[in-house]
Amino acid sequence: MCGIVGYIGTRDAYPVLIKGLKRLEYRGYDSAGVALLNGDTTIYKKKGKVSELEDYVRGKETKSTIGMGHTRWATHGEPNDVNAHPHQSEKGLFTIIHNGIIENYSVLKKTLMDQGMKFYSETDTEVLANLIEYIYTSEDVSVEVAISLALQKVVGAFGLVAISSEDPNLMIAARRSSPLVIGLGNNEYFIASDATPIVEYTDRVIYLNNDDIALIRRDELILKNLVSETTKVNIKTLEMSISEMEKQGYEHFMLKEIFEQPRSIMDTFRGRIQTETNEIRLGGLLDVKDQLVNAKRIVVIACGTSWHAGLVGEYLIEDLARIPVEVEYASEFRYRNPMIGPDDVVLAISQSGETADTLAAIQLAREAGALVLGICNVAGSSISRETHAGVYTHAGIEIGVASTKSFTAQVTVLTMMAIMIGKEKGLLSEQRFSQLIKELYAVPAKIEKILELNDEFKRIAEIYKDASNALYLGRGVSFPVALEGALKLKEISYIHAEGYPAAEMKHGPIALIDANMPVVFIATMDGSYDKIVNNIQEVKARNGEVIAIVTEGDTIIREMADHVIEIPKSDESLVSLTAVVPLQLIAYHIALMRGCNVDQPRNLAKSVTVE
């Protein structure tokens, strides 16, 4: 949540910061601000988008070669100019931007107020700024020591950048649980909450670890831990291109990312399937393969769309590899007393690799002695580093807040894992193995064909754009697709939508059905086809409007449904990869027609780094 960008070097900081904030806006977009240090610190901040901040600053003084910027997703205090970051300490000696939550902020605030300090915002961040200043003035320590001492008193998460007029050639960055990456240039450094603002300047980066403090001057970077011991700098090379971060002619990132799926799926399986030897080789899992193959149980932990991918994984792994799978919301898993031990394999799924609940659940599973694996999209992210081993989805950067290509890439990895384990356990014949691989290879072309129906999806969207509610129904592996379709619609169009197993409809949701209720069925030809046909009839008998995703050539459902969307036939195990695409596009068009901000839906942010 929230985006951080910082710069110290020889060029004008402000353009670097504004450009960086635009790149980061997908992480939070309720307010934005910059602080520029040029002897004194100048702060500009505004409620609203980065462009509103830019308009506000236009014509004002921005001269500075040290500065930082922030785009906010509110936690403490409503989005307004005062609560926007950066925050300054009472006497103006320290200015900070911060991601995460200071959990003990009210105790700290009270202590500081008892000392006579004044507060102007409702944020936890201002408390931290004042705490640093209080320590600095009362204990007569250096800027660096004041910041480390303050951070030692903090309970909670922080990705923090600080500047001080007391040491105007120093920028300090520190992290606990909230990611920060530093780009290394020539006598210049770039700091950000992810690499997107950095990539156009350098590909040499350092990912801060928990409780690292980086002391950055133009000509040196020193890394320390919270108790001021110097730690090792580990420089990595960024694998990301600027063009990936552009819309490339598409109207929205979400649309681009939906259309990228044939490529992102291919990139995810390419090089991992050895057709000559009939093998699936997931490099990241080689060291733990035996443990995975012999697992008695796999527990998937994830949130949101990644949790839906996990449900598809449950179906695939139980069906093809015969290992019992439980799929847990990370947020629930971490707060009960889960029965996890050294015999379990825990599989964390996350696009961003930074979701706070998933990270905490990983920690808990590690402490319980489980083998913890990850499926993650962002290289170098916290989850990719906290898990024992894992597999990257090669979906490429996903900027649209609603996940699309990361879902299909996650399902692709889960499919490969299920096939690999099934093969290793001798459960899949050579013939079934080859058939599944062939089917997986065929998915990108099938999605291309579905994408060609975009105008048809637009037509359906036009009909249902004013609906107040929608129901999505599927059976078996199509049930998680129904959940995902409903999530896509509600998060970007604000239409209330529910996903249900089709058979559950009779146990409650059927009461909702009337002529105003669009019901989307994922009704492809599989083992439960006849059952789903019955469910469609039940909806039609109550005047519901049926939109059915069917297998190409289906004539039976065409007779009953109001609209049919034909998708190419595929193996039942792989149908989620294709069936989800029309649902993504229908949600996209409906949201657009309702005038919603498709890439940045209200109240949401790309990665939920607070619990």
Q: Residue 291 Cβ, how far from ligand F6R at the closest point, in Å?
A: 24
Q: What is the spatial distance between Cα 505 and Cα 492, in angstroms, rounded to a whole number?
A: 24
Tell me: does residue 408 bind ligand F6R (CB under 6 A).
no
Tell me: does residue 177 bind ligand F6R (CB under 6 A).
no
Which helix (H) or strand (E) element contains residue 204?
Answer: strand 204-207
Tell me: does residue 399 bind ligand F6R (CB under 6 A).
no
DSSP 397-416: ---SSS-SHHHHHHHHHHHH
Q: Return the number of the residue (64 or 358) whose C-beta is nearest ligand F6R.
A: 358
Helix axes 478-493, 304-316, angle to 10 degrees: 170
Which of 3, 33, 179, 304 binds ligand F6R (CB under 6 A)? It is 304
Tell me: does residue 608 bind ligand F6R (CB under 6 A).
yes
Which of 41, 306, 412, 478 binds ligand F6R (CB under 6 A)? It is 306
Query: What does the H/E/C string look like for 497-555?
Result: EEEEEHHHHHHCHHHHCCCCCEEEEECCCCCCHHHHHHHHHHHHCCCCEEEEEEECCCC
- Which residues from 480-499 bind ligand F6R, rule CB under 6 A? 487, 491
Q: Within 13 Å and on the Cβ side, how many CA atoms surround 505?
A: 29
Q: What is the spatial distance between Cα 70 and Cα 89, in angstroms, rounded to a whole number?
A: 17
**Contact between 99 and 156 (Cβ < 8 Å):** no
**Contact between 439 and 428 (Cβ < 8 Å):** no
Residue showing the smallest CB distance to ligand F6R in the complex: 304
> How many residues make contact with ligand F6R (CB under 6 A)?
15
Please state, as a whole number, how many other Cβ atoms lie within 10 Å of the Cβ of residue 214: 22
**Site pattern 369..388 for ligand F6R (x: CB under 6 A):** --------------------
Q: Residue 329 Cβ, how far from ligand F6R at the closest point, in Å?
A: 10
**Contact between 523 and 539 (Cβ < 8 Å):** no
Q: Residue 256 Cβ, how far from ligand F6R at the closest point, in Å?
A: 15
Q: Return the number of the residue (382 or 573) whose C-beta is nearest ligand F6R.
A: 382
Q: Tell me the two tokens of residue 347.
A: 């599989």
Q: What is the spatial distance between Cα 366 and Cα 67, in angstroms, rounded to a whole number?
A: 39
Tell me: does residue 305 bind ligand F6R (CB under 6 A).
yes
Q: Residue 397 Cβ, how far from ligand F6R at the closest point, in Å?
A: 12
Q: Of 301, 440, 297, whose CA–CA distance to 374 is shortest?
A: 301
Binding piece for ligand F6R, criterion CB under 6 A, among 255-263, 302-310, 312-320, 536-544:
302-310
Tell me: does residue 403 bind ligand F6R (CB under 6 A).
yes
Q: Return the number of the residue (41 or 306) whose C-beta is nearest ligand F6R.
A: 306
Tell me: does residue 355 bind ligand F6R (CB under 6 A).
yes
Q: What is the spatial distance between Cα 542 and Cα 510, in angstroms, rounded to a whole number?
A: 9
**Contact between 201 and 185 (Cβ < 8 Å):** yes
Binding piece for ligand F6R, criterion CB under 6 A, among 235-243, 304-312, 333-341, 507-515:
304-312
Q: Residue 410 Cβ, how far from ligand F6R at the closest point, in Å?
A: 8
Checking DSSP bridges between strand 279-280 and strand 273-274, what pairing results, if any? antiparallel
Q: What 3-state class would DSSP assign to 283?
A: helix
The end-to-end CA distance of the chain, in Å, is: 11
Please state, as a whole number, how many other Cβ atoms lie within 10 Å of the Cβ of residue 458: 16
Tell me: does residue 352 bind ligand F6R (CB under 6 A).
yes
Q: Return the number of the residue (143 or 481) whose C-beta is nearest ligand F6R.
A: 481
Tell me: does residue 28 bind ligand F6R (CB under 6 A).
no
Q: Which candidate in 2, 303, 376, 596 is catalytic?
A: 2
**Site pattern 254..293 for ligand F6R (x: CB under 6 A):** ----------------------------------------
Which of 151, 397, 402, 574 binds ligand F6R (CB under 6 A)? It is 402
Query: Does the bond joining 86 to the residue before it have cis omega, within 30 degrees of 0?
Result: yes
Q: Return the number of the residue (554 or 599) whose C-beta is nearest ligand F6R.
A: 599
Q: Residue 518 Cβ, how far from ligand F6R at the closest point, in Å?
A: 20
Is residue 376 among the annotated active site residues?
no
Q: What is the spatial distance between Cα 96 and Cα 87, in angstroms, rounded to a whole number?
A: 5
Q: Residue 135 Cβ, how far from ligand F6R at the closest point, in Å?
A: 35
Which of 31, 351, 412, 609 binds ligand F6R (CB under 6 A)? It is 351
Q: Return the number of the residue (381 or 551) whose C-beta is nearest ligand F6R.
A: 381
Q: Residue 106 Cβ, how far from ligand F6R at the closest point, in Å?
A: 27
Q: What 3-state class would DSSP assign to 427?
A: coil
Cβ neighbors of 598 (< 8 A, separation 6 or more) are: 252, 254, 255, 400, 402, 492, 588, 591, 592
Is residue 303 among the annotated active site residues?
no
Largest CA distance in the chain: 81
Which of 164, 331, 358, 478 binds ligand F6R (CB under 6 A)? It is 358
Q: Residue 490 Cβ, how far from ligand F6R at the closest point, in Å?
A: 10
**Contact between 489 and 590 (Cβ < 8 Å):** yes
**Contact between 213 and 172 (Cβ < 8 Å):** yes
Q: Return the number of the residue (439 or 491) whose C-beta is nearest ligand F6R.
A: 491
Q: Tell me the two tokens of residue 533.
A: 């046909």
Question: Which of the residues are catalytic?
Answer: 2, 606
| Binding interface with ligand F6R (CB under 6 A) | 303-306, 350-352, 355, 358, 402-403, 487, 491, 607-608
